[in-house]
Amino acid sequence: MAQRMLFPISVVGSWSRPPWLVQALRRRQAGEISSAEFHRIADDAALAAIKYQEDAGVDIVTDGEVRRDNFYSFVVEKISGMKLMKVSELLDYMKDRAAFEEILRALDVPAFAIKSPIAVAKLRARGGLTLDEFDFLKEHTARQTKIPLPGPYLLTRSSWFEGLSDTAYPTREDLATDVVQILRDEVVALRARGVDFIQFDEPSLSQVVYGDEAEQTFMCAALGSRRDPSDELEFAVELMNRTVEGISGVKFGVHVCRGNWSRKEEVLLRGNYGPLLPYLMRMQVDQLVLEMATPRAGELEVFKEYRNEKEIGVGVVNPRTDEVEDPHAIVQRVKEMLRFFDPERITLNPDCGFGTFAERCVNTPEIAYRKLKAIRAAAESLRREYGH
């Protein structure tokens, strides 16, 4: 029944983290509190994130990713061979440090606050990446569940760093083989536990397409080794398909956005989905989870030649603004998408997370909640209009 509901609502990325949670995260990283103590605190934050979503009317809920420092760095605690490094520490390994520091300034990226997991030895997963998150979520909601995982391309690209990774993995491709295996094992374990939706986050694909040579963002640790964009996109398709090949019984999605690290829209990337769609459509996933509320996502006409080829998760609110979207405007935006996708294929989401990086949440829980309620109001109107 729930699965047939039109215009189901889900979320993308992390819930806005309260200050006490960020403090606990830092204290654990500094060794001042145990992992068990941290998780007792994080349990409260996860419960609040779940409650906010349920109260707002979200149909496919997450735990808000509140246990994570950011959407991909958390793997450092789950995979041996990874080391969490601040972007400011990675600067020491960069060939042109001064130029990169300048780019970080221009892009409003806080190098001290953003951390990346770097492969420094052979990787080995220690009993799952998100199974603890999932078990807690499942225990505390009766709704459908979604687990976001860092995509195989993002994880490979951000973890391989010349001068740090090449002893264990001479090339990125070598690292990718282990990353794919770890993600496959995770997906199989999540499926066995009954997860409904697994979303792979691949935001760095937008950097491949929309970033120019000078804009090597922090999302891509492979600084200075940028390859031809079409080679990178082919690599991303190949890794995704190797990750999900032959696995059924769970819905897969891939999320792409143009950056969510700053409230300054002008420093985030821009461009329509045209250059990405030929590659995204070849990924063996059910749903594309795309930001579309921001004008930076460009015109929707690019979907014309891919009518109903996949399900589409439509971003309908901007997580970085104080203003709460008008449900009527959301309905209008969805109707634009209905020119290319049947109602049964559309899920509604915020464009991206309200948190993203622990120390730089882009919104408050209260505004996030009100934005989800606006989506709910729009969904109800759409269900009335398109329900049978």
Confirm or reject binding of residue 25 to Zn ion (CB under 5 A).
no
Nearer to Zn ion, 176 or 352 (CB): 352
Confirm or reject binding of residue 257 to Zn ion (CB under 5 A).
yes
Question: What are the residues whose beta carbons fall under 8 Å from the beta carbon of 275, sequence distance 6 or more?
Answer: 209, 229
Q: How far is the CB of 122 from Zn ion (least distance, A)?
A: 30
* Per-position x/- string for 320-349, each x denoting binding to Zn ion as judged by CB under 5 A, each - no binding: ------------------------------
Confirm or reject binding of residue 46 to Zn ion (CB under 5 A).
no
Q: How far is CA 230 from CA 21, 170, 237, in A?
A: 40, 22, 11
Q: How far apart are CA 363 and CA 360, in angstroms?
A: 9
Nearer to Zn ion, 65 or 232 (CB): 65
Q: What's CA 94's distance to the chain center, in Å?
A: 26
Q: How far is the CB of 12 from Zn ion (least distance, A)?
A: 6
Confirm or reject binding of residue 293 to Zn ion (CB under 5 A).
no
Confirm or reject binding of residue 352 to Zn ion (CB under 5 A).
yes
The residue range among 189-197, 258-266, 330-338, 373-381 that interacts with Zn ion, by the rule CB under 5 A, is 258-266
- Between the two ends of the chain, the Cα-to-Cα distance in Å is 14
- SS3 percent helix, strand, coil of the chain, rounded to 5, is 45, 15, 40
Nearer to Zn ion, 81 or 313 (CB): 313
C-beta neighbour count of 231 within 10 angstroms: 10
Nearer to Zn ion, 18 or 203 (CB): 203
Q: Which of residues 203-222 bind Zn ion (CB under 5 A)?
A: 203
Q: How far apart are CA 162 and CA 381, in angstroms?
A: 52
SS3 80: strand
Nearer to Zn ion, 352 or 379 (CB): 352
Positions touching Zn ion (CB under 5 A) are: 203, 257, 260, 352
